[in-house]
Amino acid sequence: MKRAMMIAVVIAAVFSMDQARAGFLDTFSSLTGMTTNDAKLSSDNYLPNADIGLGKYKCKAIHLKPFANRAENTKQWSYPSSDGRMWYRVQHGSIDAYFWYCFKKYLRLLGTVVHEEQATAEVVQLALTLQYLTDKSAKFELFAIKGREQLLKSFSVSFDPPATENRNALADAQYRMMDKIILSILTDPEFKKLFFE
């Protein structure tokens, strides 16, 4: 009987510690964007669904400059759901680094040569600045330059995540949103004109 009570006390103590830790993280989520209710994202797990209609990008070169996150509704490592009930937390690095590595993966899958360092003037240089981000909406500014030609353009992408509480399904949906964000740039007539001419 005493042994059973001791086991029950230990289990209760462990449960209380987990609850305390969860409460601590949830209390400070306003600072960190990290809660016990997160969906976890990683560029390592991002498998691009690259559009087969983008064959013209194969063997072309691009210089991906550093991306920036200026979205005030996000934290350094996470962004909220549109209803504010949960966060999408990036596992390795910041949100801007997550976007950069996803872009790199997508472009390489297309067969595009991605330069991480400064390339020649003939190579398009692309930088992206996030201005707003949830699981349903992304607003960002694209800056691209090729020789003396420049393109500064604002984009807005909307997305409908699945109606589920499953965090893995929600994370997978955000990878499809990333596809849509990248595709919005690569199919944009002004960007294509700069890139291919």
Q: Is residue 7 domain-shared with residue 100, that is, in the same domain?
A: no
SS (H, E, C) 76-138: CCEEECCCCCCEEEECCCCHHHHHHHHHHHHHHHHCCEEECCCCCCCCEEEEEEEEEECCCEE
pLDDT for residue 8:
46
pLDDT digits (tens, 9 = 90+) for 153-162: 999 999 999 9
pLDDT for residue 95:
98
- The tokens describing 18, both together, are 């987990």
Report the number of distinct structural domains present in the chain.
2
pLDDT for residue 92:
83
Q: Is residue 166 domain-shared with residue 100, that is, in the same domain?
A: yes
pLDDT for residue 29:
47
Q: Is residue 43 domain-shared with residue 118, that is, in the same domain?
A: yes
Q: Is residue 21 domain-shared with residue 102, that is, in the same domain?
A: no
Q: Which residues of the chain have pLDDT under 50?
A: 7-29, 32-33
**Biggest alpha carbon–alpha carbon distance for the chain:** 83
Q: Is residue 18 domain-shared with residue 49, that is, in the same domain?
A: no
d(CA 164, CA 160): 12
Contacts of 195 (CB under 8 A, 6+ apart): 57, 60, 62, 124, 144, 146
Q: Is residue 171 domain-shared with residue 113, that is, in the same domain?
A: yes
Q: Is residue 87 domain-shared with residue 16, that is, in the same domain?
A: no
Quick one: which of 185, 76, 107 has its CA closest to 140? 185
Q: Which domain holds residue 112?
A: 39-196
Q: Is residue 43 domain-shared with residue 127, that is, in the same domain?
A: yes
pLDDT for residue 178:
98
pLDDT for residue 9:
44
Which class for 174: exposed (0-12), middle (13-18), buried (19 or more C-beta within 10 A)? Answer: middle
Residue 4, strand partner residues: none
Q: If DSSP codes are grouped into helix, strand and coil, which group holds residue 67?
A: coil
pLDDT for residue 35:
56
